[in-house]
Amino acid sequence: MINIQQDILPEKERPIGVFDSGIGGLTVVRSIINKLPKEHIVYFGDTARVPYGPKSAEVVRTYAKEDTDILLKHNVKLIVVACNTVSSVALDVVQKNSPVPVIGVIEPAAGIAAHTSKSKRVGVIGTLGTIASCAYTSEIRHHDPDITIEGQPCPLFVPLAEEGWDNHDATRLVAREYLAPLIEKGIDTLVLGCTHYPILKDIIAEVTGPAVTLIDSADSTADAVLHLLQSKGLLRNNDIPPEYVFYVSDVPHKFREIGERFLGRELRNVEKIGNIHIT
């Protein structure tokens, strides 16, 4: 195994850093691996403090700063904030503290949503923090001020995805309850504004019907990573297979089972780091 984190590596060879509040960000890693199969990746999931979604912006900003510092210690060439809540309320904190480029999950998905909608009505689903921040609303309106955005927090989708109930009638009922108000308002585009939601994509599509296009923030973020590395000449171009290293602040119950479902492959090279304290 090569040491992808040594600081004498040429910039192209340095890993992409990805962090999330927990394991949801592994859906973003999965998309990055698909689109950029030669890149090394270092992931940090703050599983000892997960979830960030219901927590206050103040607390999320403190956590985001610390998560950034952890990735920077691992010599990353780029930071991907694979957490919609952090991208919504603390992207500026990450950018301010990072000497390397930063990509959040909001901007890429917002741009695609703005260009996809014909009815000029876009739905956004996410955590309480993401929806309360109106970050998607601002970003989408930045592309097209005539678009109306309908936000809907869906707190039950995260635990349903973690339970693996991706084809369960309870999930169907929950999805109908959350999505009915958006469908009534005539949306033709729906942003899956949380990294857990791609797991429930089939059921969400079933409820919204074929007239609504789903925008997966994981896929659009991976595209943005590709474009950014290309434009900066930082794509790794080496046929030695890449390394993936996963750091977590806790190894919670069912970690491997849930993680592998999200990552879509075997989860290896997992290491617990960090100790959480209250002062």
Q: Interface residues with its own copies (CB under 8 A)? A: 46-49, 54-56, 58-59, 62-63, 66, 70, 128-129, 132, 155-156, 158-160, 162-163, 168-170, 173-174, 177, 249-254, 274-279
- Span between the terminal Cα atoms of the chain, in Å: 39
Cβ distance to its own copies smaller for residue 189 or 249: 249
| Smallest separation, CB 47 to its own copies (Å) | 7
194 is catalytic: yes
User: Which CB sits closer to its own copies, 170 or 211?
Assistant: 170
Q: For its own copies, which is the closer residue by CB, 108 or 151?
A: 151
Q: Is 83 among the catalytic positions?
A: yes
Q: Is residue 48 within 8 Å of residue 124, measured between CB atoms?
A: no
For residues 153 and 126, the answer to whether their CB atoms sit within 8 Å is yes
Q: Read out DSSP for 190-255?
A: EEEESTTGGGGHHHHHHHH-TTSEEEEHHHHHHHHHHHHHHHTT------SPP-EEEEES---TTH
In terms of CB distance, is 19 or 213 closer to its own copies? 19
Q: If you ran DSSP here, which 8-state letter would residue 28 be given?
A: H
Q: Which residues contact 177 (CB under 8 A, 6 or more apart)?
A: none
Burial class (CB in 10 A: 0-12, 13-18, 19+), 219: buried
Which one is catalytic: 122, 194, 215, 234?
Answer: 194
Smallest distance from the beta carbon of 64 to its own copies, in angstroms? 11
Catalytic residue among 23, 83, 203, 225: 83
Q: Shortest distance, CB of residue 202 to its own copies, whole angstroms?
A: 18
CB of 26 to its own copies, least distance (A): 16
Tell me which residues are annotated as active site: 83, 194
